Structure 1
Amino acid sequence: MSIDRTRAMWPQIATVIVERIRNGTYPPGSKIPSVVQVANEFGVVNSTAQRAMEAVRKEGLTRSEAGMGTYVLRPDEQPPAT
């Protein structure tokens, strides 16, 4: 997926992260890149990356552990698909 810089960035970044989770780039139980790493990868400020990561968490695909990072939930930990 290419990023369209004429549109809001955070939803596009969230979509990329979700795609990476679904295609196994970030497998269940794995630690995903930090907010700073995501911001650097996409050339955005940390708050934009944080908003994208929060959107992914709200979809029920990840969990964050303070001081440890963000991890992909196993399928049995995720809410049912709607």
Structure 2
Amino acid sequence: MTPELDRTRPVWRQVAEAITARIASGEYPLGTRVPSVVEMSAEFGIAASTAQKALAHLKSEGLIRAEVGLGSFVAKRPASEPSA
């Protein structure tokens, strides 16, 4: 099933948000592998470069860590959003 993406917003950000939500919900527990660039490209119907940008963002946020030759893994759960 391909999730619907809003083409009026940056697609890489929406993909990163979807992966972040999966980490927060426990669908991807700590230490488990997150989808690869190829898997994200197929699931979301996006270019590999877009998937790479989403993964780079998740890594910069500290949510995932990359291991060369193995993939990317959940490093921590996202902090709870402050209530407004």
Q: TM range, normalised to the smaller chain?
A: 0.7 to 0.9
Where structure 2 has 5 or more consecutive residues not aligned to the other structure, the ranges are none
The count of aligned residue pairs is 79
Give the C-alpha shift of residue 5 in structure 1: 1.9
TM-score, normalised via structure 1 length: 0.85
Match of 2:11 in 1: 9
Give the C-alpha shift of residue 74 in structure 1: 4.3
TM-score, normalised via structure 2 length: 0.83
Aligned-partner Cα distance in 2 for 1:13–1:42: 8
Q: Which whole-Å deviations, capped at 9, do the CAs of 1:14-68 have from their partners, x for residues lacking one?
A: 0001111111010001011101100111101100000001111111011000110
User: RMSD of aligned C-alpha atoms?
Assistant: 2.2
Identity %: 44
TM alignment of 1:11-26, pairs within 5 A = 11-26=13-28
Aligned-partner Cα distance in 2 for 1:74–1:55: 14
Give the C-alpha shift of residue 6 in structure 1: 2.7
Aligned-partner Cα distance in 1 for 2:64–2:34: 9
